[in-house]
Amino acid sequence: MEKLIITAAVTGGEYVSKATTPYVPSTVDEVVKEVVASVEAGASVVHLHAKNPVTGEAYSGDPNPVLKEYVEGIREEVDVVINVTTGGGRVGNPPEVWDRLVEERCTLGQEIMSLNMGTMNRWAEHPTGDIFLNTVKMIERWCGYMVSHGVKPEHEVYDTGMINVCRQIAEKGIVPEPLHIQFVMVGRTGFLPSPRMLQYSVDQLPAGWTWSVCALGRHQIPMAAMATVMGGHVRVGFEDNVFLRRGELAKSNADLVRKAANIARELERPIASPDDAREILGIRRH
């Protein structure tokens, strides 16, 4: 079977802050240390959001300078494929400003950018609103920016309708095939994290596309195990889950990466290095 790409989503996204777990990194140094530890544990890709360095909440200003510091700090310490989110930076800004922020963000030195493939209800309370707004037009423009800057889009798919949006942008030639999909199994407002749902979704993908799965909370590791068996790739880390096991916080993202890597080893699925991940995903080194 193809080598397993483990993505570590180390920074905790929109919902996880120091109030959720004291172990979430928030300063540049902490983020870089978590990335190095995660790579040592088996991660070949890291997924990043900009954080408030004190509270660990999502950064409320322009995230690009913060993300740039993370990318530069990581590049000095370790070889890893870097994936930055297109989320963040929208609060209080009109859509044309979002366009500018996303296009600028394509030039920070990362290889991948994640992009939600539709507008959806948030699955948890959030101070900046009830929905994630990603119209098809926005998606098409933002994928265009990524492709023109040599950045590979990672398409975040939360329900089967979003698979159709992925197919449309491939058919229109906006993103060259094969696409890379991250199935985000959030429950509540999107996919339920179940083996049948994952199998059904994978069956909808055109041949040759690559895919990975992330699931929230206690579903993170079981769905990672499922994807490992099925030949997909996995994402673990604090963005989606902060517990190592019931009632016990993980002290580092690396603990979660190690758990996914150990499962893969037991199943005799080899683990991808950063260069293996670049080859599997068809991306060039930055």
Per this entry, what is the length of the chain? Answer: 286
Would you say 149 or 269 has its CB closer to ligand KMH? 149
Residue count at the site for Zn ion (CB under 5 A)? Answer: 2
Would you say 10 or 271 has its CB closer to ligand KMH? 10
| Residue 21 burial by Cβ neighbours in a 10 Å radius (0-12, 13-18, 19+) | middle
Contact of 12 with 20, CB cutoff 8 Å: yes
- Stretch of 38-46, 64-72, 84-92, 211-219 contacting Zn ion, by CB under 5 A: 84-92
Would you say 42 or 88 has its CB closer to Zn ion? 88
Would you say 85 or 220 has its CB closer to Zn ion? 85
Q: Name the binder of 159 from ligand KMH, Zn ion, none, CB < 5-8 A by kind.
A: none
Q: Name the binder of 156 from ligand KMH, Zn ion, none, CB < 5-8 A by kind.
A: ligand KMH
Q: Name the binder of 86 from ligand KMH, Zn ion, none, CB < 5-8 A by kind.
A: ligand KMH
**Contact residue for Zn ion among 4, 6, 13, 261 (CB under 5 A):** 13
| Residue 201 burial by Cβ neighbours in a 10 Å radius (0-12, 13-18, 19+) | buried
Radius of gyration of the chain (CA): 17
Would you say 26 or 116 has its CB closer to ligand KMH? 116
Least distance (Å) between residue 186 CB and ligand KMH: 6
**Contact residue for Zn ion among 85, 86, 210, 220 (CB under 5 A):** 85
Would you say 91 or 267 has its CB closer to ligand KMH? 91
Instruction: Summarize as ranges the residues that interact with ligand KMH (CB under 6 A).
Output: 13, 85-87, 114, 116, 156, 184, 239-240
**Which residues would be at the binding site for Zn ion (CB under 5 A)?**
13, 85
